[in-house]
């Protein structure tokens, strides 16, 4: 990437060290028309009009709400700068309810998920009430991003959180080595992570996503071990979401060169450290799934949100476990062929009536098998049944079946000021929701707007 700033001159930055892989992600991009709730006018130009403004292309699908900037840790790599600013941000329960109501009122589709974050959201004793409020407003997925410390130490509090209706725990998890934790978190927190997982298991929870921050020379040799840890705790762990370390303007050029890691670096390391069990070609960019939402839209005659994030923002795959081995879905399903086929059927449905719809559904049911290699498919997975269930009007229960038999492995490369790309941020689907009713794309918030907004929303504290 090359860019020129009137004040600071010319910049060049490596986005990927593998041009072919970069082009592959571009080739797999999918676009779709989206309905986006507009809050602000275009005035100064992107990224200064965030709100969302008329130029934004993807609706709020995942929404972050910071519950506090207090934290029970002081990680050197925290982009929320919790505690370091000597200012307190902690919206009241009523303020949070208003944000949730605003979220739930978005037409035609409210955001699919809310993630309560911070700081450390478990420092709030009213977290269970906040989760209940979100649940009562019909928000489908309620997640809490946590370092796990309080859940490890306070099972009674954890039980209250579970009873309130939480769906998923986004658990900070940087590896298995004490050294990684010492570097990122200031001390070895691995025993606490294990205790959190043990407590969740004891209380019957099954939806933990491990969230490793990844940096060169710190834990980039542990990616395979983290995946195998997920496999070995498959009863509780549903996914791993690797996050290359983002610097949010707080690191020198030398530090950035030393520690930064790109999506291509990451998938190559995963391939090497799993001995090819998961290869870089098994990963697909986020918008690759758009043909599915488009198809469901035509099938049901309803407006669907399309996850049209930029293809260079993140990649993901689903893996299954067969006799202790990891098998990515792409090893037994021709996903590219199937999605292409789905697109063709969708075009026919869109241009026809009810009878055309039934004909196309029958065709899919008949031909679906030709995209699956049954020999390689795990024995307890019946993808044909799941597809039939979805096509016949079932939804969540069939997708849940798939979800609980697989491990999601993904990565999202949040941007920094030095590699900030307007084409990417305009397509962002992950937004911070603020008390004034605005929604700000995640990377734009952390790289550009956070400091000013926090000045307005925080109050000074003595620490």
Minimum distance from residue 309 beta carbon to ligand SF4 (Å): 4
Q: Does 129 bind ligand SF4 (CB under 6 A)?
A: no
Contact (CB, 8 A) for 118 and 80: yes
Of positions 47, 230, 239, 311, contacts ligand SF4 by CB under 6 A: 47
Tell which one of 442, 448, 453, 457 touches ligand SF4 (CB under 6 A): 442
Answer yes or no whether residue 223 interacts with ligand SF4 by CB under 6 A.
Answer: no
Task: Note whether 290 and 309 are within 8 A (CB).
Answer: no
52 binds ligand SF4 (CB under 6 A): yes
Residue with tokens 């098994």, as numbered in its chain? 282
At residue 315's C-alpha, the angle toward residues 312 and 320, to 5°, is: 170
Q: Whole-number minimum distance, CB 181 to ligand SF4, in Å? A: 25
C-beta of 61 vs 299, nearer to ligand SF4: 61
Residue nearer to ligand SF4 on the CB measure, 328 or 410: 410
Number of Cβ atoms within 10 Å of the Cβ of 112: 16
Q: What whole-number distance in Å separates Cα of residue 11 and Cα of residue 103?
A: 38
Q: Rounded to 5 degrees, what angle do the CA atoms 306, 312, 313 make?
A: 65
309 binds ligand SF4, rule: CB under 6 A: yes
Q: How far apart are CA 335 and CA 397, in angstroms?
A: 22
Distance (Å, rounded) from C-alpha 181 to C-alpha 332?
37
Tell the smallest beta-carbon distance from residue 290 to ligand SF4 (Å).
Answer: 14
Chain-centroid distance, C-alpha 55: 23
Q: Report d(CA 57, CA 387) in Å as an integer.
A: 29
Neighbour-count burial for 2-40, b at 16+ CB within 10 Å, e otherwise = eeeeeeeeeeeeeebeeeebbebbeebbbebebebbebb
Candidates 118-126, 176-184, 257-265, 439-447: pick the segment binding ligand SF4 (CB under 6 A).
439-447
Least CB distance to ligand SF4 at residue 84 (A): 22
CB 94 → ligand SF4: shortest distance, Å? 26
Rounded Cα–Cα distance for residues 265 and 454 (Å):
34
49 scored as a contact of ligand SF4 (CB under 6 A): yes
**55 contributes a contact to ligand SF4 by CB under 6 A:** yes
Residue located via tokens 């921050």 = 213
CB 220 within 8 A of CB 269: yes
Smallest distance from the beta carbon of 57 to ligand SF4, in angstroms?
Answer: 7
Instruction: Please report whether residue 211 would count as binding ligand SF4 according to CB under 6 A.
Output: no
| Residue 434 Cα distances to 139, 381, 409, angstroms | 17, 42, 29
With CB under 6 A as the contact rule, which of the stretches 138-146, 177-185, 350-358, 412-420 interacts with ligand SF4? 412-420
Q: How many residues bind ligand SF4 (CB under 6 A)?
A: 26
Binding residue for ligand SF4, selected from 24, 25, 30, 51, defined by CB under 6 A: 51
Whichever of 15 and 137 has its CB closer to ligand SF4, that residue is: 15
Q: What is the rounded CA–CA span in Å between residue 36 and residue 60?
A: 8
Q: Site residues for ligand SF4, window 339-378 (CB under 6 A)?
A: none
**Span from 135-143, 149-157, 263-271, 406-414 in contact with ligand SF4 (CB under 6 A):** 406-414
Q: How far apart are CA 117 and CA 62, in angstroms?
A: 12
313, 342, 364, 433: residue in contact with ligand SF4 (rule CB under 6 A) = 313
Tell whether residue 240 is a contact of ligand SF4 (CB under 6 A): no
Residue 72, exposed/middle/buried by CB under 10 A (0-12, 13-18, 19+)? middle
430 binds ligand SF4 (CB under 6 A): yes
The one among 266, 444, 448, 450 contacting ligand SF4 by CB under 6 A: 444
Candidates 240, 424, 432, 433; binder of ligand SF4 (CB under 6 A) is 424
Which residues sit at the interface with ligand SF4, rule CB under 6 A? 46-47, 49-53, 55-56, 309-310, 313, 412-415, 424-426, 428-430, 441-444
């Amino acid at each position: 990437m090359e860019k020129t700033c009137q004040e600071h001159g010319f910049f060049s930055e490596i986005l990927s060290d593998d041009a072919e892989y970069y082009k592959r992600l571009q080739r797999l991009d999918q676009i779709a028309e989206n309905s986006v709730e507009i809050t602000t006018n275009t005035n100064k130009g992107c990224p200064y009009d965030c709100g969302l403004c008329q130029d934004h292309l993807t609706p709020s699908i995942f929404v972050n709400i910071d519950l506090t900037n207090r934290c029970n840790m002081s990680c050197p790599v925290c982009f929320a700068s919790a505690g370091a600013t000597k200012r307190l941000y902690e919206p009241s329960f009523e303020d949070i309810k208003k944000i949730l109501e605003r979220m739930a009122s978005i037409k035609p589709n409210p955001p699919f998920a809310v993630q309560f974050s911070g700081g450390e959201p478990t420092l709030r004793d009213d977290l269970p009430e906040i989760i209940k409020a979100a649940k009562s407003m019909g928000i489908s997925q309620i997640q809490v991003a946590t370092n796990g410390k309080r859940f490890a130490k306070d099972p009674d509090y954890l039980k209250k959180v579970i009873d309130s209706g939480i769906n998923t725990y986004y658990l900070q998890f940087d590896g298995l080595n004490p050294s990684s934790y010492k570097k990122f978190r200031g001390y070895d927190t691995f025993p606490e992570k294990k205790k959190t997982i043990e407590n969740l298991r004891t209380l019957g929870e099954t939806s933990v996503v491990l969230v490793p921050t990844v940096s060169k020379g710190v834990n980039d040799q542990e990616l395979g071990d983290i995946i195998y840890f997920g496999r070995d705790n498959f009863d509780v762990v549903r996914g791993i979401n690797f996050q290359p370390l983002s610097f949010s303007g707080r690191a020198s050029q030398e530090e950035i060169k030393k520690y930064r890691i790109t999506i291509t670096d990451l998938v190559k390391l995963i391939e090497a450290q799993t001995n090819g069990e998961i290869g870089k070609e098994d990963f697909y960019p986020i918008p690759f799934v758009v043909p599915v939402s488009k198809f469901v839209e035509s099938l049901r005659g309803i407006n669907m949100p399309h996850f049209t994030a930029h293809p260079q923002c993140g990649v993901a795959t689903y893996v299954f476990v067969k006799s202790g081995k990891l098998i990515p879905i792409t090893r037994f399903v021709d996903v590219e062929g199937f999605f292409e086929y789905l697109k063709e059927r969708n075009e026919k449905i869109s241009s026809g009536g009810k009878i055309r719809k039934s004909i196309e559904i029958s065709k899919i049911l008949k031909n679906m098998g030709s995209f699956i290699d049954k020999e390689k498919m795990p024995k307890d997975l019946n993808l044909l049944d799941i597809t039939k269930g979805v096509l016949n009007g079932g939804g969540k229960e069939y997708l849940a079946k798939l979800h609980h038999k697989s491990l999601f492995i993904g990565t999202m490369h949040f941007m920094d000021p030095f590699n900030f790309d307007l084409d990417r941020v305009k397509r962002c689907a992950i937004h911070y929701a603020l008390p004034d009713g605005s929604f700000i794309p995640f990377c734009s918030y952390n790289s550009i707007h956070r400091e000013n907004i926090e000045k307005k929303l925080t109050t000074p504290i003595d620490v």
